[in-house]
Amino acid sequence: MHTLRSGLVSLALAVLAALMVSGPAMAAKPLRVILIPADGGTEDGTRADYTPLFNAISRQTGLTFDIRVGQSYGAVVEAMCNGSADIAFVGAVTFVQAHQRKCAELLAVAVEKGQSSYYAGLFTRSTSPIKTVAQIKGKRVAFGDINSASAFVFPVSMIMDAGLDPVKDLSALRLTGSHASSLAALTQNQVDVAALSFDSFDKAIRQGAVDPKSIRVIAKSIAIPYPPIVMNTRLPASLKVKLKSAFETVHTAPGVTPDMIRGYGGAKVDRYDTKFSAAKFSVAARTMARIDDRLKGEILKKASAR
């Protein structure tokens, strides 16, 4: 009996020790966050945009995050769909793509001055004679990633709305991969027009990458739902609830400063809305549908022929 009791005690101690080791280790496993490479540059520079926010969430919840930047917008969608990412910062179009594949659901959308929207633009140099979208005909145009809402999908739609064929009516077409690279191509006189978001343009101004007096806006898009933070549909329900609660209240959490509440391009925002409806992204879905695979293929072919 004594031997049996000793054996049971030893077993209980062993189980307790295992739990003490495995429990914290499991809890400490970081959630994998992937960001679209919206503004190009170094990965550290892009990661820096959202690091303050995730530091604030970590301070509030005890969760940890491993943040990296995808090589392309499409790569971020694939990371969510193949299960190699738990959370992502995506564009309006990339959210629609991942949502349609049932890989992602909305986690939070930034709110600034009561709004959760942003805008795409077509920009030219201030010395350019181009005043309207129609005058882009015969000009060289730079777009970002082909899956970007504000650096490709909405600007291409704006060009189509002006009665132009984005393949036949442009003398040259470049796909630079990012907003920042398109703006750089414009300032370096490699193109006549650049498509990018106003948020990315503002970031370039803040960083001293461009003199705002040297650039003029040709056209501004309709409002686009703000690039959201999404979570993988495969996450446990309890973790989804914890994340949503944290993002909803992070701006008022103890020890969190306003400088930590950041959004697209590293800009400060007021708060995050976790009740934002996925239905509001229907405008992105409709605009994306205008640019079918045939047109995308022709654009890719023309861009590669330069």
Give the model confidence (pLDDT) of 128-167 as tens digits.
999 999 999 999 999 999 999 999 999 999 999 999 999 9
With b for 16 or more beta-carbon neighbours within 10 A and e for fewer, the 143-153 pattern comes to bbbbbbbbbbb
Question: How far apart (Å, rounded) are the C-alpha atoms in residues 56 and 261?
Answer: 8
Shared-domain flag, residues 217 and 230? no
Q: How far is CA 107 from CA 88, 172, 241, 242, 280, in A?
A: 9, 39, 10, 11, 14
Same domain, 220 and 252: no
Same domain, 128 and 57: no
Task: Compute the average pLDDT of residues 266-273.
Answer: 96
Q: Which residues pair with residue 219 across a beta bridge?
A: 122
Residue 24 is predicted with a pLDDT of 39
Residues 243 and 197 grouped into a single domain = no
User: Does one domain contain both 185 and 298?
Assistant: yes
For residues 100 and 188, state if they share a domain: no
Q: Is the pLDDT confidence value at 117 over 80?
A: yes
Q: Which of 183, 130, 132 is nearest to 161 (CA)?
A: 132
Q: What mean pLDDT is predicted for residues 200-224? A: 95
Q: Above 60 in pLDDT, residue 259?
A: yes
Say if 107 falls within a structural domain: yes
Structural domain contains residue 162? yes
Q: Are residues 213 and 267 in the same domain?
A: no
Count structural domains, the chain: 2
| Domain at 137, CATH number | 3.40.190.10
The whole-number pLDDT of residue 11 equals 43
On the question of pLDDT at 262 being above 70, the answer is yes
Domain check: are 209 and 165 in the same one? yes
Q: Are residues 232 and 104 in the same domain?
A: yes
Amino acid at the residue 270? D
As given in the structure block, the two tokens for residue 221 are 């898009």
Whether residues 53 and 79 share a domain: the answer is yes
Q: Taking the complete model, does pTM exceed 0.75, yes or no?
A: yes
Residue 17 lies in a domain: no
In a domain, 16, yes or no: no
The CA distances from residue 271 to 53, 87, 108, 110, 279, in Å, are 10, 18, 10, 6, 21
Which residues constitute the domain of residue 295?
117-224+290-304
**Are residues 165 and 231 located together in one domain of the fold?**
no
| CA atoms of 179 and 240, how far apart (whole Å) | 31
